[in-house]
């Protein structure tokens, strides 16, 4: 049986309705692909607890998660990723990229202009249907 890794991704919108997109570091798995910031859910954590911890670790920022946008599965060589996309409000006024090479704020209609990690693409499709 294949290993399934549960991960969370933060869908953070600014006041203009743009969504935060982050670029994975070149030297990591899926380097140079864009993603929603987040990471693995640890043993005993809820998805909301995990996303708050991950954003603190990756962006040195506080968020308030409030809605699950989607729950997708994607098969990679190393196993299956179960990505839970969570809509979050950015509480901190600023953030710092600690785990990513770059970031950009984009409107939903422009999200496909980036090269995304495959699992994130399904979440983007869900977001675009909201318009």
Residues 78, 82, 87, 91, CA torsion sign: negative
pTM over 0.95? The answer is no
Question: Does 10 score more than 70 pLDDT?
Answer: yes
Do 35 and 116 contact (CB within 8 A), yes or no? yes
pLDDT per residue as tens digits for the range 18-44? 999 999 999 998 889 999 999 999 999
User: What is the CATH topology of the domain spanning 4-129?
Assistant: Nucleoside Triphosphate Pyrophosphohydrolase (3.90.79)
φ, ψ for residue 84, nearest 5 deg = -105, 115
Do 11 and 87 contact (CB within 8 A), yes or no? yes
pLDDT per residue as tens digits for the range 64-81? 999 999 999 999 888 899
Per-residue pLDDT band for 58 (boundaries 50, 70, 90) equals very high
The whole-number pLDDT of residue 127 equals: 86
Do 85 and 65 contact (CB within 8 A), yes or no? no
To the nearest 10°, the Cα dihedral for 89, 9, 84, 5? Answer: -150
What are the residues whose beta carbons fall under 8 Å from the beta carbon of 102, sequence distance 6 or more?
A: 22, 23
Per-residue pLDDT band for 1 (boundaries 50, 70, 90) equals low
Assigned token pair, 37: 């910031």
Question: Does 6 score more than 70 pLDDT?
Answer: yes
């Amino acid at each position: 049986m294949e290993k399934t890794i549960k991960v969370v991704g933060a869908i953070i919108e600014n006041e203009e309705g743009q969504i935060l997109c982050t670029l994975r570091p070149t030297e990591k798995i899926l380097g140079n692909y864009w993603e929603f910031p987040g990471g693995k859910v640890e043993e005993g954590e809820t998805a909301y607890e995990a996303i708050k911890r991950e954003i603190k670790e990756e962006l040195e920022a506080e968020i308030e998660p409030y809605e699950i946008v989607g729950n997708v599965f994607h098969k990679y060589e190393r196993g299956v990723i179960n990505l839970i996309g969570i809509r979050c409000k950015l509480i901190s006024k600023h953030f710092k990229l600690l785990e990513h090479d770059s970031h950009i704020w984009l409107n939903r209609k422009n999200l496909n202009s980036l090269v995304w990690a495959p699992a994130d693409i399904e979440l983007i499709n869900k977001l675009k249907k909201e318009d």
